[in-house]
Amino acid sequence: MVLTDEVSQINKIMEEFLLSMTKNKLDLEMIYDKAYALMDVNISKKMETDRIYHYDEQSVHELEAKCEALPLTNQYKWILQDYYACMHSKMARVMELAYLAGIEVALSMIIEEWVV
């Protein structure tokens, strides 16, 4: 909850700052749209070229196949699938939080540069 409050405050400050630098709210929405599009492209490019990501992705597929081949009842296989899904969701959230933390640092540097 604390992180969400901090992110909300940062978003509010950044929005006010950008709004003061732009003509209107439409300009601000265009800036956000472009920034998020660029972030998505940047992440995709990094994933395409990252050897560790590709190695881990291959390992995941191999382990999924091994789990499917285990002589387990469907109930136990579902437990394994749920565990995998929860771990995947958790790691995706960690990535989002790390990304937000990086954005927070970058925005604070930009604000310091413009305000000072």
User: Which of 53-62, 69-78, 86-95 has the least mean pLDDT?
Assistant: 86-95
- Please, are residues 64 and 84 in contact by the beta-carbon 8 Å criterion? yes
Coil vs helix vs strand at 106: helix
Q: What is the mean pLDDT of the chain?
A: 76
| Model pLDDT for residues 6-18, shown as the tens digit of each residue | 666 666 666 666 6
C-alpha span between 95 and 74 (Å, rounded): 31
Who's near 17: CB < 8 A, 6+ residues apart? 111, 114
SS3 4: helix
- The pLDDT value given to residue 45: 79
pLDDT of residue 92: 83
Q: What's 23's DSSP letter?
A: S
The C-alpha atoms of residue 62 and residue 68 are separated, in whole angstroms, by 10
Of 113 and 94, the structure prediction assigns the larger pLDDT to 94
pLDDT at residue 86 is higher than 50: yes
Query: What are the structural domain ranges in the chain?
Result: 2-115
95 pLDDT exceeds 50? yes
Structural tokens at position 27: 């300009």
